[in-house]
Amino acid sequence: MAAPVRMPKPTCLIQNQEGRLSVCPEALGVLRSIRHPVVVVAIVGLYRTGKSYLMNRLAGKRTGFSLGSTVQANTKGIWMWCVPYPDRKDQTLVLLDTEGLGDVDKGDTQNDTWIFALAVLLSSTLVYNSMGTIDQNAMDQLHYVTELTERIKAKASPGGSARGGLEDSSEYLRFFPSFAWALRDFTLQLELNGRPITEDEYLENALKLKKGSGTLRRAPLPRAPGPRADCLPQDRRGRDPCLLPLRWASLPDACLAAFLLAVLAKLVETYVETISSGKVPCMESAVLALAKMENAAAVEEALARYGGLMGQRLCLPTESVPELLGVHAECEKEALQVFMARAFKDDAQRFQVKLMKTLDDRKEEFCRRNEQESSQRCQALLASLSVGLEEKVRSGVYSRPKGHRQFVGDLKDVEGRYRQEPKKGVMAEAALQQFLESKEAVGRAILQSDTALSEKEKQMEEAQEQAVAAQREKEVLRQRGAELEQKMQDKQRSYEENIQQLKVKMEQDREQLLEEQKKMMDSRLGEQEALLREGFQKEAKRMQEEVQRLREQSASVKEPSWMEKAMDGLLTVGSLFLPGIAGKAVGLISNLFRRL
């Protein structure tokens, strides 16, 4: 894997000029040039509150993102800085510094909302930066979060309107990044009702519903798996008790595998283009579009790996078809692993099926090349070995009494020496058969002109030669039949390898999904318990319904049929790819899942 990208200084990722957003090609070039996992941390907050300073600290630098000391906002658009991830090799931390919200010089809050929305859409961890304590004023400033429901769609609902697409908050919050609230110039003692509390408890208390308010006072912060949000206070003296303020150990590991920089580059383009066109970005649609792009790239990467490995390991011509198929099987397995490692959301296995068929075509092409190389080598060898025989035919040596027996003897000598030569390849018998057939007319002419033989002897000689020729042809046909059977068995092996690797990937995906759902349920149950304890019965009932939906989803994922149904794509192609395999495939899949 390539070393993490190192940028000496930040660069502009998304420009904001006269209220219009556009992507900077240079920054996209940096993202596209790297292929390894990343964590994306974005910071948002009011202008002139020190966001850039905080991001420089996260980068482990004193300078980098532009700092300002006047009342005018210093950062415009969204700036990016890729730095090595602390204590994690081959991983990169992508820091996104956004322009300050609420700048009076803008005169339009819609631009702020889109900047905030992009920070949410592109990050795996979102830091909200503010000054002082979490009071009602600070909560009111988080109106950008509440407006996300009008600016972002979680699911692409057919026939639905562009707005109002976030009816299921659990679907929306699944996409929301982990959240940290950084409090600058925090001077209060962390105590509540006479007892010490943690930073996170302080945040949770500030977000509690308040009776009698008539409306929810809690800001719709992410309820992601694991800790829902972090509070990161910093005192006036600039000491950062929690810094580098995001506790690196608490950053979710899932984020590390969630993005590749090339995918992130496509996300930036997709979201900015959608916003610039006046449409509402849909997270599900973006993910599906990225999946299509990445899966197509995964197929190409797998094919490139297969071609490279075959070029290294295969030496043509091979002595037998199984030898070639053995090399193909090893290379195909590694190519399939490359595909599985990169592909995601290939729910109908369309791209895996494409890879499967293409690899089979590539194998057939190697088989044709193998036969061609073998034929050329055998023909050249036979031409070299038969030089003396051809010279005798031209000089009339065999056109005399007992010349036929001499011709047959010389022909057998050529055949004997030919068989002793190594590395002739898979077409050795077929090439010999073709060579001997080409000499039959010459042999008959010599036989008929041989005055030393009676007519009866000539007939016996001709019958014997025909019998030998028929036996040779039968052997060639037998060999061809054996090769076809070997290729069909290889198709069976390839099909089973695809099923096995897909099963392993799906098991991993299912475990990850179940773990995510369990954490979400635990989080919802904790919130429901708190709501009941505080007397919010209506909200607690709504939370219970959400928990029940999660339980039903988990139950369906645990069913063996969940994975069997996902195999339909491979099962369908199996019946086309391997005639007569449909029944065997059903049995194979059933056996695989019976052990789950």
pLDDT digits (tens, 9 = 90+) for 117-147: 888 888 888 888 887 777 777 776 666 665 6
User: What pLDDT, on a 0 to 100 scale, did the predictor assign at position 193?
Assistant: 81
- Give domain status of residue 245, yes or no: yes
Report whether pLDDT(200) > 50. yes
In-domain check, residue 118: yes
Domain end among 377, 395, 421: 377
Q: What pLDDT score does 240 carry?
A: 47
The tokens describing 474, both together, are: 């039968």
Query: Comparing C-alpha atoms, which of 177, 178, 181 is closest to residue 233?
Result: 181
Residue showing tokens 């700036």: 79
> What is the token pair recorded at 88?
């994690």
Look at residue 190 and give its three-state secondary structure. Answer: coil
Residues 6 or more apart whose Cβ sits within 8 Å of residue 238: none
3-class DSSP state of 93:
strand
Provide φ and ψ at 94, rounded to 5°.
-100, 115
Within 10 angstroms of residue 86's Cβ, the number of other Cβ atoms is: 12
User: With 50 as the cut, is the pLDDT of residue 472 above it?
Assistant: yes
Does residue 325 share a domain with residue 246? no
Residue 15 lies in a domain: yes
253 pLDDT above the threshold of 50: no
pLDDT number for residue 457: 77
pLDDT value for 235: 53
Which of the listed residues 335, 352, 377 is the one where a domain comes to its end? 377
pLDDT of residue 98 exceeding 50: yes
Which residue range(s) make up the domain with 227?
A: 11-276
- Using an 8 Å Cβ cutoff, are 94 and 267 in contact? no
Name the residue with higher pLDDT: 579 or 159: 579
Q: Which residues contact 181 (CB under 8 A, 6 or more apart)?
A: 127, 128, 130, 134, 203, 229, 230, 231, 232
Pair type for strands 38-45 and 125-131: parallel
R_g over Cα of the chain: 36
Res. 505 pLDDT band, cuts 50 70 90: confident
pLDDT of residue 119: 85
My answer on whether 350 and 389 are in the same domain is no
pLDDT at 239 over 60: no
Evaluate if residue 313 carries a pLDDT over 80: yes
State the Cα–Cα distance between residues 441 and 463, nearest whole angstrom.
Answer: 14
Phi, psi (deg, nearest 5) at residue 362: -65, -35
Structural element, H or E, at residue 456: helix 455-533
Flag whether 491 is in a domain. no
Q: Is the pLDDT of residue 371 over 90?
A: yes
Whether 34 and 113 map to the same domain: the answer is yes
Rounded Cα distance between 207 and 135, Å, is 10
- Cα separation of 517 and 142, whole Å? 27
The H or E element that residue 505 is part of is helix 455-533
C-alpha–C-alpha distance, residues 276 and 335, integer Å: 39
Identity of the amino acid at 229: A
User: How would you classify the pairing of strands 178-184 and 229-233?
Assistant: parallel
pLDDT confidence of residue 222 = 43
Residue among 500, 506, 495, 508 at smallest CA distance from 563: 506
pLDDT for position 217: 41
Cα 291 to Cα 298: distance, rounded to the nearest angstrom: 10
More confident residue, 165 or 146: 146
Are 316 and 258 members of one domain? no
CB proximity list for 478: less than 8 A, separation 6 or greater: none
**Do 151 and 67 reside in the same domain of the chain?**
yes
Query: What proportion of the chain, given as a percentage, has pLDDT over 70?
Result: 73
For CA atoms 99, 102, 108, 111, give the dihedral sign. positive
Whole-angstrom Cα distance, residue 196 to residue 106? Answer: 42
pLDDT score at 324 = 96
Select from 343, 377, 411 the last residue of a domain.
377
Q: Around Cβ 232, how many Cβ atoms within 10 Å?
A: 24
Mean pLDDT of 563-570: 67
Task: Answer with the residue of higher pLDDT: 36 or 348.
Answer: 348
Both 524 and 577 in one domain: the answer is: yes
**Cβ 585 vs Cβ 574: under 8 Å:** yes
Is-contact 350 291, C-beta < 8 A? no
CB 253 within 8 A of CB 223: no
Q: Which residues pair with 263 in a beta bridge?
A: none
Nearest 10 degrees: Cα torsion 32, 35, 36, 37: 40
Return the sign of the alpha-carbon dihedral for residues 310, 316, 319, 321: positive
Identify whether residues 428 and 533 lie together within a single domain: no
Question: 489: how many CB neighbours lie within 10 A of its CB?
Answer: 12
> What pLDDT, on a 0 to 100 scale, did the predictor assign at position 384?
95
Nearest residue to 589 (alpha-carbon basis) of 494, 511, 503 = 503
- Tell me which of 275 and 487 has the higher pLDDT: 487
The model's pLDDT over 15-63, given as tens digits with 9 standing for 90+, comes to 888 778 888 988 888 887 766 677 888 988 887 677 888 888 887 787 7
The domain that holds 152 is classified in CATH as: 3.40.50.300
Mean pLDDT of 329-337: 96
Give the amino acid at 89. K
Is 492 inside a domain boundary? no
Does the structure show a pLDDT above 60 at 194?
yes
Decide: 123 and 38 in contact? Cβ < 8 Å. no
**Could you tell me if residue 320 is left (phi over 0), alpha (psi between -120 and 50 degrees) or otherwise beta?**
beta
Beta bridge partners of 260: 37
Q: Based on the domain organization, do 57 and 187 belong to the same domain? A: yes
CA–CA separation, 148 and 160 (whole Å): 17
- pLDDT at residue number 307: 96
Quote the mean pLDDT of the chain: 77
Per-residue confidence at 164, pLDDT binned at 50, 70, 90?
Answer: very low
Strands 195-196 and 191-192, bridge-based pairing: antiparallel
| Continuous segment of H or E residues that includes residue 232 | strand 229-233
Residue 541 has pLDDT above 50, yes or no: yes
Position 475 confidence tier, pLDDT thresholds 50, 70, 90: confident
Strand 178-184 vs strand 125-131: parallel, antiparallel, or unpaired?
parallel
Q: Are residues 61 and 173 in the same domain?
A: yes
Q: Establish if 283 belongs to a structural domain.
A: no
Q: What is the pLDDT of residue 414?
A: 93
- Do 30 and 17 meet the contact criterion of CB atoms below 8 Å apart? no
Same domain, 315 and 435: no
Q: Render pLDDT for 396-432 as a digit per residue (tens, 0 to 9).
A: 898 888 888 899 899 999 999 999 999 999 999 999 9
What is the share, in percent, of the chain residues with pLDDT greater than 90? 20
**How many other C-beta atoms lie within 10 A of the C-beta of residue 42?**
27
pLDDT attached to residue 312: 95
Tell me the mean pLDDT in the region 307-326.
95
Q: 470 and 546: one domain?
A: no
Q: What is the dihedral of CA 252, 253, 256, 259, to 10 degrees?
A: -60
pLDDT at 469: 78
User: For position 155, what pLDDT does the model report?
Assistant: 61
Q: Is the pLDDT of residue 515 over 50?
A: yes
- Is position 284 within any domain? no
Q: How confident is the model at residue 346 (pLDDT cuts 50, 70, 90)?
A: confident
Residues 47 and 175 in one domain: yes
Residue 146 in any domain: the answer is yes
Lookup: tokens for 14:
């998304």
The total of structural domains in the chain comes to: 4
CB 15 within 8 A of CB 21: yes
